Amino acid sequence: MDLHFCATWRWRARCVGGLAAALLVAAQAAHARVTRIVIDERTAVPAAQAGGVDSEMIAGRAFGELDPNLPTNRIVQDIELAKDADGKVRYVSTFHLIRPVDQSKASGMMWHDVPNRGRRLTLNERLERAAGDIELNSAWQGDNSGWTAVRPTMSASVTATHWLQLPIARNSDGSPVIGETMGRIINRSGPDSQPLIVLNNPVPYKPVSLDPRESTLVTRVAESTRGEVIGEQRVPSSDWAWARCDTQNPFPGTPDPTQICVKGGFDPRLLHQVTFKSADAYVLGIGFAAWRDVGHFFKTARADDHGTPNPVAGLVKHSVGRGISQSGNYLRGWLHLGFNQVEAGTPGQMVHDGIWPIIAGRRIALNFRWAQPDGWLELYQAGSEGPQWWLPAVDAVRGGPVAGILDRCTATATCPKIIEHFGSAEVWALKLTPEWIGTDGKADLPLPPNVRRYYIPATHHGGGAGGFDTSLPGVGLPAAGAMCPGANWGRALLPANPVPHLHSVNAIREHFRAWLQQGKAPPPSRYPTLATGTLVPANKASIGFPTLPALRPTVPEPDFVNPVIEYDWGPQFNATDGSGVPAYGVPPIRRVLPMWAPRVDGDGNEFTGVPVVLLQAPLGTYLGWNITADGFHKGQICAYMGGMIPFARTAAERQANGDPRQSLEERYGNYAGYVDAVRRAAARIQDEGFLTADDAKALVEQAQASRVLR
């Protein structure tokens, strides 16, 4: 535990009490409720793929049990409806573990990564393996659907996806728990039936009855970002079926609980939305406890209850939980619900020393009945309820108790060190700004001393491909627009934004390592604020966005940003915790919250936050947003894909196009001038602590090899 953190934290008495308790249990054996591990496969990771260090990947399954009566588990929604005959709740979680073969080369650091939609999370593994770090991925998503479908064993293949086997809730008499849920189909046409998809995975629930009279299918002509519905029509039950059909097997097709077949085929101009009753009430909140216990087992245990040794026993001194996007939101929810406390631990006994939620500004909607973990902020998907901010604060617009994400870990002295970083897409598409300024946007919310916040400006979700030729039309910048993320969302107007997160992440990793291993604090937080005037209402006039020839002159309009929508989930739903039982498959909308965004310069580029070389020596306008070119969402924000508008090469070219931005020649003169601009930017950013020496050198070499102004 960080003594400086305890000395400065305003709940000092609790923290000191937690330190005392932690000292009392320091000599006790670790208690993790993983009772058994099974290693299914091992494979060598050659030194050439592991930064020069021979490594081994170990794939297997962890068998765990939970005591529903413990305070650390009681918060899991429906855990009482998931008990075995002996009163315990059981799960099976997959894991991937990578360690150096020569254990003397282990650094003492373990990165416990949260898979994203079942996929193993990776973050420049070569650097971590070269340092002798241990990498652990373990499952949390128990919806048994698509990439997270349960399988007999776990493979050591890098493409193998993770799954969590957990119970389905049952009433005390053994009868199924029934409730309403929904699914949507967009931009589909023709006679073929269509599955219900959440981002890339099937909706995890199936209807109780295949009789269409017991479900409701509607079509919509349009929806606004604010949830306004245009042209909704109910489809008669005689005109659709739960079935698989195509030209060879026409309507009504073959019964299938995962597909919708429509008489006359799908009209691509319409969105189709079905609500139905299901009995597949997975107790998904167990995923919080399972990830906790697997991480604690590999960090502290010598062996399981059957004598199988922990493959990394004694090698871990510090651990950091990491997640990206969906899995980063998971981490914030995991911490908020108190899961960084060891299951049967006393105050002060924490699982991870650090938490790194990446491009994730909300809490995942997991711990409620009928949750859809693959949700990605389509209309009617939960995840923005309750406090998204760290310290207790008033939710001025929505009401509710004064609360913050760190409330529970503060009470138990189990708050880790935290680094969070974002890009512009999280502001424009992923509803970020209430985390910074609350729901009313009247004041910047304070950060506690154990949190660092870094904003990587003018970047899309996760950053782009990097490089310099990637900004040049006809060289590396494609002429076609990027594909919008999401279920059949469509194509974007602009090509993808190439500004990377990679180099910033490499620098942040080293800061995190030094913070935990040496007690050296990272650089101060850097992000837009109301106080500095760099965070303003999210519209063209307020942010100062120029009129550019590639875009309609009014963009971004006030309703272009994807806003936080407050839904009415019913009386059995706890919005503060994001837990409970929703009353509706399609919840009514109560209100839409105001949203903010960073100011831009005369080129339309954001300038506040962590410096990035490609933004310090720009080759165009780099956007954290893009515009959907066609289909149901035509003209609206293109999910979380960023765009790029290159500068003209010459003054004559820009003047002919009516472009207000200086050309490349006007900015840099020639190729040598651009390389010099990159060299100076790299040196400056390295001095500020946001670029490693190796990356600074590599970027200058890339600029020298580029075709900029050649």
Q: Does 508 reside within a domain?
A: no
Mean pLDDT of the 618-630 span: 98
Q: How far is CA 569 from CA 10, 371, 574, 589, 671, in A?
A: 34, 12, 9, 9, 58
Q: Extract the tokens encoding 551.
A: 């875009």
Closest CA to 5 of 88, 182, 14: 14
Model pTM score: 0.94
Predicted confidence (pLDDT) at residue 29 exceeds the cutoff of 80: no
Please write the tens of the pLDDT for every residue from 210-260: 999 999 999 999 999 999 999 999 999 999 999 999 999 999 999 999 999
- Whole-number pLDDT of residue 221: 98
What is the SS3 assignment for 528-597?
Answer: CCCCCCCEEECCHHHHCCCCCCCCCCCCCCCCCCCCCEEECCCCCEECCCCEECCCCCCCCEEEECCCEE
Q: What digits encode the pLDDT tens for the residues 122-156?
A: 888 889 999 999 999 999 999 999 999 999 999 99
Give the confidence band of 377 by pLDDT, cuts at 50, 70, 90.
confident
Which residue segment(s) compose the domain that 252 sits in? Answer: 179-278
Residue 8 lies in a domain: no
Residue after which a domain boundary falls, among 278, 305, 326: 278
DSSP for residue 474: T
What is d(CA 465, CA 530) in angstroms, rounded to the nearest whole number?
31
Phi and psi at residue 395, to the nearest 5°? -90, 85
Q: Residue 266: is its pLDDT beyond 80?
A: yes
Are 199 and 271 within one domain?
Answer: yes
Q: What is the rounded average pLDDT of the residues 313-326?
A: 98
Handedness of CA 594, 597, 602, 608 (dihedral sign): positive
Structure tokens at 188: 């589909």
Residues 133 and 48 in one domain: yes
**3-class SS of residue 501:** coil
Domain shared by 111 and 246, yes or no: no
Q: What's the pLDDT at 125? A: 87
Is 631 part of any domain?
A: no
Structure-block tokens of residue 266: 């799908």
Identity of the amino acid at 374: D
Q: Are residues 187 and 139 in the same domain?
A: no
157, part of any domain: yes
Structure tokens at 164: 């969590």
Q: DSSP code of 455?
A: E
The whole-chain average pLDDT of the chain stands at 94
pLDDT of residue 200: 87
Last residue of a domain, one of 316, 336, 364: 316
**Distance between CA atoms of residues 321 and 344, nearest Å:** 20
What pLDDT sits at residue 21?
36
691-701 pLDDT tens trace: 999 999 999 99
Q: Per-residue pLDDT averaged across 620-636, rounded?
A: 97
Whether residue 8 is predicted with pLDDT greater than 80 in this model: the reply is: no
Percent helix / strand / coil, the chain, rounded to 5: 20, 25, 55
Peptide bond just before 556 cis, omega within 30 deg: yes
- Does position 373 have pLDDT exceeding 80, yes or no? yes
Q: Is residue 702 part of a domain?
A: no
Cβ count near 254 (within 10 Å): 13
Q: Is the model more confident about 421 or about 21? A: 421
Say whether both 149 and 228 belong to one domain.
no
Q: What 3-state class would DSSP assign to 435? A: helix
Any idea what DSSP says for residue 271?
Answer: E
**How far, in Å, CA of 575 to CA of 387, rounded?**
9
Q: pLDDT tens across 325-364, in order?
A: 999 999 999 999 999 999 887 888 999 999 999 999 999 9
Q: What is the mean pLDDT of residues 184-191?
A: 96
Structural domain tally of the chain?
2
pLDDT at 279 exceeding the cut of 90: yes
Residue 215: strand, helix, or coil: coil
Do 41 and 157 belong together in one domain?
yes
Query: Which residues, including other chains, have CB under 8 Å from residue 125's CB and lie 6 or more apart?
Result: 50, 98, 135
Q: Which of 299, 316, 333 is the last residue of a domain?
A: 316
Let me know if residue 117 belongs to a domain: yes
Residue listed under structure tokens 């020393």: 353
Question: Which residue would you say has higher pLDDT here, 586 or 25?
Answer: 586
Rounded Cα distance between 438 and 469, Å, is 40
Task: Give the pLDDT mean for 530-551.
Answer: 97
Percent of the chain predicted with pLDDT > 70:
95
82 and 137 fall within a common domain = yes
Q: Would you state the pLDDT for residue 32?
A: 56
Predicted confidence (pLDDT) at residue 16 exceeds the cutoff of 80: no
Give the pLDDT mean for 33-41: 97
Share of the chain above pLDDT 90, in %: 91
Confidence of residue 26 (pLDDT cuts 50, 70, 90): very low
Q: Which residues contact 701 (CB under 8 A, 6 or more apart)?
A: none
Instruction: Say whether both 113 and 210 belong to one domain.
Output: no
The arithmetic mean of pLDDT across residues 642-649, rounded, is 98
Are 99 and 230 members of one domain? no
C-alpha 202/C-alpha 181 separation (Å) is 13
The mean pLDDT value for 414-442 works out to 97
Q: What is the arithmetic mean of pLDDT over 609-638?
A: 97
For residues 216 and 271, membership in a common domain is answered with yes
254-262 sheet: strands from edge to edge: 194-195, 254-262, 240-244
Q: How many helices (H) and strands (E) does the chain have?
A: 16, 29
For residue 217, being part of any structural domain is answered with: yes
261 located within any domain = yes
Structure tokens at 153: 């064993």
pLDDT at 56 over 90: yes
Tell whether the model's pLDDT for residue 5 goes beyond 90.
Answer: no
Give the amino acid at 4.
H
Mean pLDDT (whole number) for 440-445: 97
Distance from C-alpha of 318 to C-alpha of 155, rounded to nearest angstrom: 27
Considering the domain architecture, whether residues 268 and 288 belong to the same structural domain is answered as no
Same domain, 129 and 220: no
Write the single-letter amino acid at 635: G
Among 44-48, 118-122, 551-555, which stretch is predicted with the lowest mean pLDDT? Answer: 44-48
User: What does residue 340 show for φ and ψ, rounded to 5 degrees?
Assistant: -85, 0
Is the predicted pLDDT of residue 55 greater than 70, yes or no? yes
What is the mean predicted confidence (pLDDT) over 60-75?
96
Q: Is the pLDDT of residue 485 over 80?
A: yes
pLDDT score for 376 = 83
Give the single-character DSSP code of 365: -
Which run of H or of E encompasses 674?
Answer: helix 671-687
Give mean pLDDT, residues 412-439.
Answer: 98
Can you say whether residue 304 is alpha, beta or left, with left for phi > 0 and alpha for psi between -120 and 50 degrees? Answer: beta
